[in-house]
Amino acid sequence: MSVVPETPDAPRSLSSPLTLPNGQVLPNRIMKSALSEALGTSDNAPDIRLTRLYGRWAEGGYGLLVTGNVMVDHRHLGEPGNVAVEDRRDMDALSRWAKTAQDGGTPIWMQINHPGRQGNPVTTVGGTIAPSAVGLDIPGIPAPRAATTDEIESIIERFAVTAALAEEAGFDGVQIHAAHGYLVSQFLSPLSNVRTDEWGGDIDGRARFLLEVIRRVRSRVSPGFAVGVKLNSADFQRGGFSEDESRAVIAMIGDLPVDLIEISGGSYESPAMMGKSVSASTASREAYFLEYAVTVRDIAPHIPLAVTGGFRTRAGMDDAIASSACHVVGLGRPTAVAPDAARDVLSGRIDTLPSPSISVPVPARFATTRSVRSLDGLLDLQWHTDQLHRMGAGKEPDPARPITRTLVSSLQRNGIDAVRAKRRGPAGAPSAAASSRMAGVLSLVRRYVVGPIVRIFRGGPTSGA
């Protein structure tokens, strides 16, 4: 396909192809954004269910498919079931995964990631690692230890090795995950990175890790292989990574050979990417991060922008592309219940995508507490993961799936230890704040989630007390 590079005054629509800086062509402007599938084998290889799932999305008409978290170190997983790519041992399975998507005419990029302090306590070997020994403000998650300079260099190298293996397996590109509170994002945030060496301090020092990862990755892959970055507009925490700092990072990325920047926001402490922590006025608009994207599109004008988070209507997507607010529309959770979303939108078959609202069944007075909002975000993520597992098993999504069934499947996938209080104070005992928050979460879970499950099994009513 021969496509003329985009110019500022060129007409564009959702169906317009997009030529990236490296010459790769996306057939349209709708991207299936990363969703963590948790469909790896027990030894972190791609499972046949991943092939089935991406075969389903390959039929969905997307311009680009981005995989869920592929970890660069099997000792540090975001959750059980993550794929980890460190060497050539799973090359056949990786190649089948890539080819399945490409058989539908869609490029596929591998999202490469390290969880840092967001590593799952059940699967992490040797404890979690982060820029600094600053724990998550989420009940039950143990505090990390600070990475040494040698460990930082080793992790940068791991990103490059994984990217090179992705190209060898036949993927069309990689996306470096620098958002949502994972390790690269942790380096960027002044809350989680309090280092005083060359990897911390001001935004130049805190951005160094991301920039070195980009440089190392690009040095190991061919010019035609795409390198993208997923970046937060902000982390939506007081004193955290701000929009001004995000704009400064985009200016730095603009000096490097990057092919696409995807804008998102938030973390699992403050899940703005799921609409859980943005303001009511922001949530009422269609795309949570579109206004921010408009403020950065001229900072690195040669790098296309994708925006993910909140797009639900064909009109909203059309407007975003036609107005040049962004070059690509990213869809995440809607693709878990509507795998043909892009084809349906582009053909005009549907005007509004389904958007199930997943929340813990608690009284209204508890719904806005931090513990409940954190649990809401986690269960929303797990509910959508359930839909991916259904498609991986060759079934259709189930938009009516009860949240109580998701709680059971979540505990099965992640292990009960993942919701136990493990954060330790200086004396080795659980900190009072962590224990209090954890007790509150578990009390709510027992009363309003576990209780209804028990009543279901006993054949009684399921309404909460």
Q: What is the pLDDT of residues 285-344, one digit of tens each?
A: 467 789 999 999 999 999 999 999 889 999 999 999 999 999 999 999 999 999 999 999
Tell me: pLDDT of 459 over 70: no
- Distance (Å, rounded) from C-alpha 59 to C-alpha 57? 5
Binned at pLDDT 50, 70 and 90, residue 381 comes out as confident
* DSSP-assigned letters across all residues of 146-182: EPPHHHHHHHHHHHHHHHHHHHHHT-SEEEEEE-BTS
- Provide the 8-state DSSP code for 352: B
Q: Is the dihedral of CA 255, 310, 47, 104 positive or negative?
A: negative
Within 369-430, residue ranges assigned H as helices are 370-392, 403-414
Residue 353: both structure tokens together: 């995508």
pLDDT at 461: 38
Q: Read off the pLDDT of residues 70-104 as tens digits, 9 standing for 90 and up.
A: 999 999 999 889 999 999 999 999 999 999 999 98
CB atoms closer than 10 angstroms to residue 328: 25
pLDDT at 276: 44
pLDDT at 372: 67
- Distance (Å, rounded) from C-alpha 11 to C-alpha 69? 34
Q: What is the pTM of this model?
A: 0.84
In the three-class reduction of DSSP (H, G, I as helix; E, B as strand; rest coil), residue 248 is classed as helix
Bridge partner list, 230: 177, 262
Q: How far is CA 83 from the centre of its chain?
A: 14
Angle between helix 149-169 and helix 91-102 axes, rounded to 10 deg: 60
- Distance (Å, rounded) from C-alpha 453 to C-alpha 352? 33
Tell me: pLDDT of 384 over 70: yes
**Helix and strand numbers, DSSP H then E, in the chain:** 16, 14
The widest CA-to-CA distance across the chain, in whole angstroms, is: 65
In the three-class reduction of DSSP (H, G, I as helix; E, B as strand; rest coil), residue 277 is classed as coil
pLDDT at 11: 59
Total number of residues shown for the chain: 465
Q: Domains of the chain by range and CATH? A: 18-355 (3.20.20.70), 357-465 (no CATH)
pLDDT at 437: 39
Contacts of 436 (CB under 8 A, 6+ apart): none
- Distance (Å, rounded) from C-alpha 54 to C-alpha 269? 29
Question: Which residue has tokens 């962004």?
Answer: 326
Tell me: pLDDT of 380 over 80: yes
Return the percentage of the chain with pLDDT > 90, whole number: 65
Phi, psi at residue 84, to the nearest 5°?
-125, 135
- Distance (Å, rounded) from C-alpha 317 to C-alpha 13? 9
Tell me: pLDDT of 54 over 90: yes
pLDDT at 266: 59
pLDDT at 453: 40
pLDDT at 171: 98
Q: Read off the pLDDT of residues 357-367 as tens digits, 9 standing for 90 and up.
A: 777 666 666 66
Q: Read off the pLDDT of residues 122-175 as tens digits, 9 standing for 90 and up.
A: 889 989 999 999 998 766 678 999 999 999 999 999 999 999 999 999 999 999
pLDDT at 66: 98
| Average pLDDT of the segment spanning 256-269 | 83
- Distance (Å, rounded) from C-alpha 395 to C-alpha 418? 28
pLDDT at 117: 94
Within 64-131, residue ranges assigned H as helices are 91-102
Residue (of 136, 35, 120) closest to 419 by Cα position: 120
Q: Read off the pLDDT of residues 12-50 as tens digits, 9 standing for 90 and up.
A: 899 999 999 999 999 999 999 999 999 999 999 999 999
Task: Let me know: does 186 contact 209? Beta carbons within 8 Å.
Answer: no
Binned at pLDDT 50, 70 and 90, residue 406 comes out as confident
More confident residue, 376 or 341: 341
Task: Let me know: does 261 contact 328? Beta carbons within 8 Å.
Answer: no
pLDDT at 3: 34
- Distance (Å, rounded) from C-alpha 395 to C-alpha 433? 43
pLDDT at 267: 55
Task: Let me know: does 267 contact 240? Beta carbons within 8 Å.
Answer: no
- Distance (Å, rounded) from C-alpha 166 to C-alpha 173? 8
Binned at pLDDT 50, 70 and 90, residue 412 comes out as confident
Phi, psi at residue 418, to the nearest 5°?
-70, -20
List the Cα angle 220/206/434 in 5-degree steps.
Answer: 115
Tell me: pLDDT of 284 over 60: no
Half-sphere exposure of 314 (CA within 13 A, CB side): 13
| Average pLDDT of the segment spanning 179-196 | 96
Arithmetic mean of pLDDT over the chain: 84
Binned at pLDDT 50, 70 and 90, residue 7 comes out as low
